[in-house]
Amino acid sequence: AQTVTQSQPEMSVQEAETVTLSCTYDTSESDYYLFWYKQPPSRQMILVIRQEAYKQQNATENRFSVNFQKAAKSFSLKISDSQLGDAAMYFCASDNNAGNMLTFGGGTRLMVKP
């Protein structure tokens, strides 16, 4: 079974600054995928970024990047140049390559201060 842990229930960042959200996971699989999803007040789940475990290079999507530490089973999300629209719940998730049956962490609420 997979587990995903987000140790920060809430984070705050000043607009235009950088913030890092933490995530650790546990899996016995050798091949798996990791994701960060954003859930704004509209409550829709939006994929922010994904990482294949077999790829050593950290994924990047515009202002969003990850720090994937496979040995430590750590998968943190860095948001650069934070914007007011980044305020949301962020969920870390894993998939053991079984096909979109995601295991989610408990979420981190990100607040962005103007």
Nearer to another protein, 40 or 60 (CB): 40
Interatomic CA distance for residues 24 and 74, integer angstroms: 4
Which range in 13-21, 43-51, 58-66, 79-87 contacts another protein by CB under 8 A? 43-51
Q: Should residue 110 be labelled a site residue for another protein when binding is judged by CB under 8 A?
A: no
Residue among 29, 46, 54, 81 that touches another protein (CB under 8 A):
46
Say if CB 87 and CB 112 are below 8 A apart: yes
Between residue 76 and residue 95, which ones bind another protein under the rule CB under 8 A? 91, 93, 95
For residue 58, count CB atoms less than 10 angstroms from its CB and return exposed for 0-12, middle for 13-18, buried for 19 or more: middle
Nearer to another protein, 4 or 13 (CB): 4
39 vs 2, 28, 46, CA distance in Å? 22, 28, 6
- CA atoms within a 13 Å half-sphere pointing along the CA-CB vector of 50: 10
Residue among 22, 58, 78, 104 that touches another protein (CB under 8 A):
104
Tell me which residues touch another protein (CB under 8 A).
33, 42-47, 50, 91, 93, 95, 97-107
